[in-house]
């Protein structure tokens, strides 16, 4: 995401007694009932691939209200996330696109091995062992070296997951019934205190009212698509406010597993640059381009770099932000006029010691705060190119 969403954005909601009671009645109790009915009808058949072998009815509340990222209480949550991601992401295509942008001596097998190693886990191992009866370790090590072999590996995992996820969906796959139509969607959206889409940082996600009836102009987006990760279809931690365009037209069912784990980097690192280097560009007499570089935020983690590149391409960030050069030109004109000496004199005439953030807000309409990034359109762009330069 262009703006980091704190992992604790839902804490206020989860700790709200009235919400928990409502959520328990409308969601948790119903999911537990679904689980018991499923367990009763299937027992513990299907060997390693029956959901009741991996979670109990007592785990359901943790799945719905707890963390779906590196959950130490229920290791299967993380194993499931990794396994589905491994099967569903067209990683070879992402690598091919990414390699076009860099100069690297690394062969495809380097990236494919990295991907397999990152997502290998106990659940994935059981699926692959079931797929390759004779010496699975040797077969897997051969498959991950080529495009054809790697995609064959993914296809086998995906095939096993189809039946598994169908069963999971019978227990958890009721978002519309339990959340959207159950009256919880608006409350979840409001509780995040996020009023601008974190994916693009351009569109408001605030509601409006018609004759007293609230109308929501935002989606409660599933970070992990519910169609591919039905186990997380009702998990509070999987809900992110998003503008309609980003969710429905751009992201849809795409997966960016690593974006949620890039903590603090995006907010505190300058990612926007511009070409306003002379008078003509500043005054709008010649064109200047706004560019965004987020690939480097992955550090040395190649998988994060690839996810970031694919994210920027999916959301057309370069193309979309190119339309805001006029705004930056206008704000840079203001900055050249209202320089530090002017602001010092202004504060003196006001007979008050104004804070820099107050002055920035007065002149540019932005104050440079962390909170502003999730609540004011284009705040990251303005902070990078105007306030923090």
Per-position DSSP letters for 189-233, written without gaps between them: HHHTT--B-TTTS-SB---EEETTEEE--EEEEESS-TTT-GGGT
Kindly state the average pLDDT of the residues 112-136: 91
Determine contact, residues 82/124, Cβ cutoff 8 Å.
yes
Give mean pLDDT, residues 59-87: 93
For residue 287, name the pLDDT band (cuts at 50, 70, 90): low
pLDDT higher at 69 or 47? 69
- The number of beta carbons lying within 10 Å of the beta carbon of residue 388 is 11
Cα 167 from Cα 173, distance rounded (Å): 9
Report the interhelical angle of 75-88 vs 108-119 (nearest 10°): 150
Residue 318 Cα distances to 89, 191, 274, angstroms: 23, 31, 11
Residue 305 has pLDDT above 50, yes or no: yes
- pLDDT at 26 > cutoff 50: yes
What number is the average pLDDT over the span 139-157?
Answer: 93
Q: Which two tokens stand for residue 128?
A: 């692959």
Element (H, E) at 243: strand 239-243
Q: Is the pLDDT of residue 293 over 90?
A: no
> What value does the mean pLDDT take over residues 152-166?
95
Q: State the pairing for strand pair 218-222/213-215.
A: unpaired
**Does the predicted TM-score (pTM) go above 0.85?**
yes
Residues in the chain: 389
What average pLDDT does range 341-369 have in this prediction? 83
Write down the pLDDT at residue 46.
Answer: 55
What value does the mean pLDDT of the chain take?
87
Q: Is residue 169 pLDDT above 80, yes or no?
A: yes
Average pLDDT estimate for 102-131 = 90
pLDDT for position 281: 57
Name the least confident of 36-40, 156-160, 278-282, 344-348.
278-282
């Amino acid at each position: 995401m262009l703006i980091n969403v704190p992992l604790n954005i839902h804490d206020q909601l989860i700790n709200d007694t009235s919400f928990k009671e409502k959520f328990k009645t409308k969601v948790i109790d119903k999911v537990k009932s679904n689980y018991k009915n499923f367990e009763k009808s299937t027992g513990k058949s299907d060997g390693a691939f029956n959901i009741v072998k991996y979670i109990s009815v007592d785990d359901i509340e943790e799945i719905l209200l707890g963390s779906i990222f590196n959950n130490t209480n229920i290791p299967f949550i993380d194993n499931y996330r990794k396994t589905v991601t491994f099967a569903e992401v067209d990683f070879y295509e992402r690598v091919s696109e990414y390699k076009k942008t860099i100069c690297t001596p690394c062969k495809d097998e380097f990236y494919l091995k990295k991907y397999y190693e990152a997502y290998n886990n106990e659940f994935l191992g059981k699926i692959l062992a079931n797929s390759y009866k004779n010496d699975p370790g040797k077969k897997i090590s051969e498959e991950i070296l080529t495009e054809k072999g790697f995609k064959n590996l993914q296809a086998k995992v995906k095939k096993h997951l189809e039946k598994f996820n169908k069963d999971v969906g019978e227990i958890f796959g009721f978002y519309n019934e339990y959340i959207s139509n159950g009256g919880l969607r608006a409350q979840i959206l409001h509780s995040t205190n996020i009023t601008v889409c974190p994916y693009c940082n351009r569109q408001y996600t605030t509601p409006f009212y018609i004759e007293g009836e609230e109308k929501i102009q935002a989606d409660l987006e599933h970070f992990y698509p519910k169609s591919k990760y039905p186990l997380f279809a009702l998990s509070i931690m999987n809900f992110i406010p998003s503008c309609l365009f980003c969710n429905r037209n751009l992201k849809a069912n795409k997966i960016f597993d690593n974006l949620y784990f890039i903590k603090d980097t995006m907010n505190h690192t300058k990612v926007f640059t511009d070409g306003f280097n002379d008078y003509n560009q500043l005054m709008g007499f010649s064109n200047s381009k706004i560019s965004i570089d987020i690939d480097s935020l992955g550090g040395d983690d190649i998988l994060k770099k690839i996810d970031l590149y694919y994210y920027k391409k999916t959301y057309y960030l370069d193309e979309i932000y190119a339309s805001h050069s006029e705004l930056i030109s206008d704000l840079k004109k203001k900055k050249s006029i209202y320089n530090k000496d002017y602001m010092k004199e202004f504060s003196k005439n006001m007979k008050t010691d104004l804070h820099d953030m107050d002055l920035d807000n007065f002149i540019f309409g932005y104050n440079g705060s962390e909170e502003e990034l999730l609540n004011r359109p284009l705040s990251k762009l303005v902070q990078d190119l105007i306030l923090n330069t």
